[in-house]
């Protein structure tokens, strides 16, 4: 029991330390090479003028670098590599602390790495404007293709290698859905990725993702998936390091390299813990942000241009109502903690 707790929290502390240590170098590199967007958003997702969004961001410093998500995944991957090497060559204690395992962490580590690379490429194109002048990086359709490709690989791994064909329903029931597990997995990953629209205010996405991965880390621990729990808390440590520099005024934005890595990895973790049906509850802040954007688009299309919200996603709607950005962020954190606790209670009752 004690060694399991140590195995979870020691790597998390290392990830936080790595993140704090590498941030000055990463930040200086981003600023030196001017890796920020050269123009503000002027067109909404429905093709109209993003007038409210422009007004909300009119006072922002435009020279805030993107690619801050590099801090998260690089410090996490450095920690994983360190403990894996130590486990191979440094005796039985470090062998016990190594949490890289085929059945629990290979797939989420792969997903984190691939999502980070694809997102990094998108971010680079968006700040250099060398690829898609209109979209400022990969277009939405191309990003969806990328996420779908990773989802297909993940679904195949779960179905063929882990022989997973069922999903756990709250309160103990299990549904065997056979080959339908594959499309279900793909849909969940795409839906989770859509929650990445939450990356819009200083400190918002870092805090929300930290709470979500903490919750799934505790669920994994309760299910004796110690390696997976350690992986989740490594991400939490890395997110805390990122958040240290992302609270107002943000030194950088998480952007796609962080969002794509974290959302896709979250979907994988939810399936590995067999608690994917609780994902909409535990990740409720992501759900409401994604849903608000979708509802806004549908309303504009089918109700003659009428809007449900002043602006979407929802956190910007609250800003448009006059809420200070810090109030929106902290209330999202509070909702995130409440939903995390609710998810844990449902797991324990099940």
Model confidence pLDDT, tens digit, residues 94-118: 888 999 998 899 999 999 999 999 9
The answer to whether residue 313 is domain-embedded is: no
The answer to whether residue 320 is domain-embedded is: no
The vertex-314 CA angle with 69 and 68, nearest 5°, equals: 10
Q: Which domain holds residue 59?
A: 2-279+325-349
**pLDDT top residue among 321 and 51:** 321
pLDDT, mean of residues 162-190: 91
Structure tokens at 2: 């004690």
The answer to whether residue 310 is domain-embedded is: no
The answer to whether residue 316 is domain-embedded is: no
Q: 3-class SS at 174?
A: strand
The answer to whether residue 117 is domain-embedded is: yes
> DSSP state, 196?
G
The answer to whether residue 287 is domain-embedded is: no
Write the pLDDT tens digit of every residue in 328-340: 999 999 999 999 9
Structure tokens at 172: 């103990």
**pLDDT top residue among 76 and 304:** 76
- Residue-level pLDDT at 94: 81
- Residue-level pLDDT at 303: 85
CA 39 to chain centre: 25
CA 54 to chain centre: 25
Residue 143 above 50 pLDDT?
A: yes
Residue 198 above 60 pLDDT?
A: yes
Residue 133 above 80 pLDDT?
A: no
Q: Quick check: 190 and 151 in contact, CB under 8 A?
A: yes
The answer to whether residue 213 is domain-embedded is: yes
- Residue-level pLDDT at 34: 86
**How many structural domains is the chain composed of?**
1
Cα–Cα distance, 125 to 109 (Å, whole number): 25
The answer to whether residue 303 is domain-embedded is: no
In the chain, DSSP assigns E strands to: 166-168, 174-176
Gyration radius (Cα) of the chain, Å: 20
Q: 3-class SS at 166?
A: strand
């Amino acid at each position: 029991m004690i060694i399991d707790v140590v195995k979870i929290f020691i790597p998390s502390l290392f990830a936080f330390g790595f993140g704090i240590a590498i941030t000055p170098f990463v930040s200086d590199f981003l600023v030196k090479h001017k890796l920020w967007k050269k123009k503000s958003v002027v067109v909404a997702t429905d093709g109209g003028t993003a007038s409210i969004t422009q007004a909300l961001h009119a006072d922002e410093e435009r020279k805030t670098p993107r690619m801050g998500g590099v801090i998260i995944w690089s410090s996490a991957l450095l920690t994983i590599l360190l403990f894996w090497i130590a486990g191979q060559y440094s005796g039985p204690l470090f062998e016990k602390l190594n949490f890289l395992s085929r059945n629990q962490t290979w797939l989420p580590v792969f997903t984190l790495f691939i999502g980070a690379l694809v997102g990094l490429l998108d971010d680079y194109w968006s700040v250099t404007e060398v690829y898609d002048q209109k979209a400022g990086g990969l277009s939405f359709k191309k990003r969806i293709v990328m996420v779908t490709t990773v989802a297909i690989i993940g679904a195949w791994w779960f179905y063929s290698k882990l022989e997973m064909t069922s999903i756990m329903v709250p309160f103990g029931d299990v549904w065997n859905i056979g080959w339908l597990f594959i499309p279900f997995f793909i849909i969940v990953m795409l839906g989770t990725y859509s929650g990445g629209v939450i990356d819009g205010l200083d400190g918002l996405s870092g805090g929300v993702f930290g709470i979500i991965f903490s919750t799934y880390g505790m669920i994994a621990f309760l299910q004796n998936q110690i390696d997976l729990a350690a992986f989740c808390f490594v991400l939490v440590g890395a997110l805390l390091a990122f958040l240290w520099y992302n609270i107002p005024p943000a030194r950088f934005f998480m952007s796609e390299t962080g969002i794509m890595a974290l959302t896709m990895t979250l979907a994988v973790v939810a399936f590995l813990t067999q608690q994917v049906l609780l994902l909409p509850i535990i990740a409720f802040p992501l759900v409401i942000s994604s849903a608000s954007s979708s509802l806004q688009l549908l309303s504009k299309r089918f109700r003659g241009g009428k809007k449900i919200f002043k602006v979407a996603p929802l956190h910007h709607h609250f800003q448009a109502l006059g809420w200070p950005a810090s109030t929106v962020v902290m209330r999202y954190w509070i909702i995130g903690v409440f939903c995390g606790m609710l998810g844990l209670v449902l797991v324990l009752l099940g």
